[in-house]
Structure 1
Amino acid sequence: MVSIEHVAHKILTYVPYVLVLFDMRYEGVHCGREAGVDNHMEMGKKLLAAGQLADALSHFHAAVDGDPKNYLAYYRRATVYLAMGKSKSALPDLSRVIELKPDFTSARLQRGNLLLKQGKLDEAASDFQNVLKAHPSEKESSEAQSQLTKSDELQRLVAQAKSSYNSKDYIGAASLLDTIIDTCVWDITSREMRADCFIQMGETGKAISDLKAASKLKNDNTQAFYQLSTIYYHLGDHEMSLAEVRECLKLDPDHKQCYSHYKQVKKLNKQIRSAEELIHEQRYDDAVSKYEAVMTTEPNVPQFTFLAKERICHALTHGQLTAKAISVCSEVLRSEPHNVNVLKDRAKAYIQEGLYEDAIKDYENASQHSENDRQIKEGLEEAQRLLKQSKKRDYYKILGVKRTAQKKEIIKAYRKLAQQWHPDNFQDPEEKKKAEQKFIDIAQAKEVLTDPEMRNKYDHGEDPMDPESQQGHRGGQHFHGGFQNFQGFNPFGSGPFNFKFNFN
């Protein structure tokens, strides 16, 4: 039998070896961890020096995780963040460095500079003062003193800017804020104040720039997105307005101002898109109605009224309601005389109305503001050709129809005029002779305009009935040689007829 004393002796003999073993394992882990942190720090430094910032950052992350109290790991990681332009991420690391090592003046100086850029002038001044108290190097001391002086000056300018702003001296306030923002580039408050100054001054483009910066500098800046949306809306940019108000609602779906504005912009945007689809589908009458609805939806923003009338002008021109198109286009051009698109549309409407000289003037005006526009060049050439042609014989004017008239309209006009000017209706020799020529012109006009090939030639500057034209073999001989040889179409039926005259 083994005695208790023997067992006790064995335990006491064994325990020291166990304790030593445990101690050796602990020391090994501790030494391995330190070695791992050192390796990450060394690799991070090399990669940072080589400009491989993302890889360097990964090593400094690992170093911080391996030793959360290693102030140098935080400092180096902050350095990488700054090199990557991520100052928001660098600031907490610099604060952690200062917490772990309050006399680390380089970290405090860098944090002061970041706080200065953010417009946190009191906090920045505090850091610069602490640097000066810590007996820094000559270089650090000089920089800290310079930045402290700058911080004090900026505080004075901020006070002046607020005073000018409250007094509604927006020009003065904006000028002071320009100086402040040159240094405090990440100062949200100053940018938002300057944006409001620009809005009051009517410089919306500059306001947009500041508000976009403010929306990025502050993660939940719903007010900046709301302001951006309303500015774009009043500029007539419904697409950008909708995009910005959606960003506001992403941050806060219950934002009352943004939600109310969103409903209005969404409705207007839908109407405008629908109208443009109708134009694309050549449903011009429906497009006009839709743009009239746009003006009803938003009657208080002139830009949307202007847009609607501009597009109505376009739709009416292409829908061949040319007289009305000219009226609407002219209304738009009174507000914006050099609107190239409207000038082109009105010129096209003028051509359809046979007002070629007016069309030429519009195309020439448009070309001064858009030199390389192919449509303007082609339109001008067409108007000039048609003007020249109209001084010879204008078959559309002879029948009293528009250039866009369909075949049925042309035949109807022809029959009416042929009945009116039929030579048998006149007894007086002089009147009969005049009627004969008139009747020939009417018949020629009908023949040219009801034949697709001949009409196409005529519309492109050739007269198929001109004996001198080598293009117009057909028809050119039909009427040559006098009325007594004429054989044409019966205006009262579909068959041919011969004129018979009693000359006795």
Structure 2
Amino acid sequence: MVGMVGRALVAAAAGVGALALATLIEVSAARAESPLSTKCNAVGNLSVDDRIAGCTALIESAAAMPRGLVMAHFRRAMFYRQKGEIDRAIADYDQIIERFPDNLNARIARASAHLQKREPEAALPDYAKVIELDPKNTYAYLGRAHVYSSRRDFVRAIADYDQALLIHPDNVIAHVERGLAYVRKGDPDRAMLDCDRAVEISPQTGGGQLCRGRVYFAKGDRERALAELDQTIQIKPKNENFYYFRAESFSQLGELDRAIADYDRIIELSPRSRSAYGCRGRRLCSKRRL
């Protein structure tokens, strides 16, 4: 599903924040830090720029131990990504990996940053290295499978999803993504097994229902497909991806008014969504031509 694994990997990278906080508090207890550097992990209503400045001050000072500096780089990279400054985030991950080549969190985070930057091929070496160092790293298999799937290499993608599910049999993302890969590979019956399993494991996420909707479309059962997509939105009415999939489905059916309504909802939820504006504009042009 578009964005699912990307978000999972971003969350994994951001998850080091709690460890960062504990580390930097420990450092602060050992020696005094400047007021600016404490903003890197401060709790409160601080701007992203203030937090970046705080992390930069900590990195440039001699106050932190090496572990604290690594966490400051992680934190600053996370804030850069929030601003959309992906190259600067990658530079922070580069510095960590240059000093600590076996840091798996940094490699996973750098790979997910390349995905965020729409450079999937650049993510592959980091995923491969993580798998080499930790053959049971589910995130690396999911990330690499996502890259393979995006370039329509479904055999390799499915093989990586298989590995992820051997490690974590109840991983909903792996079931949904593998199901979608089977759909695109032309095997909707096999895909449905994964979709149904995803619903069984976690009916409250909506991913399995979306997966089933795609299978029904592949089988030509449009009524059941739309019913499944409707369920996803009932489950999570603020999930942009679910509206996007339904809008594209309406477009394929020639129901442009309903497609445009879904794109409008995406724009309402995320005013900066360029893809929604672009898709909505194309549908309006199609409607005028009709």
State whether TM-score is above 0.5.
no
**Shorter-normalised TM range:** 0.3 to 0.5
Q: TM-score, normalised by structure 2?
A: 0.42
Q: TM-score, normalised by structure 1?
A: 0.27
Higher relative contact order (CA 8 A, sep 6+): 2
Q: Which has the larger radius of gyration?
A: 1
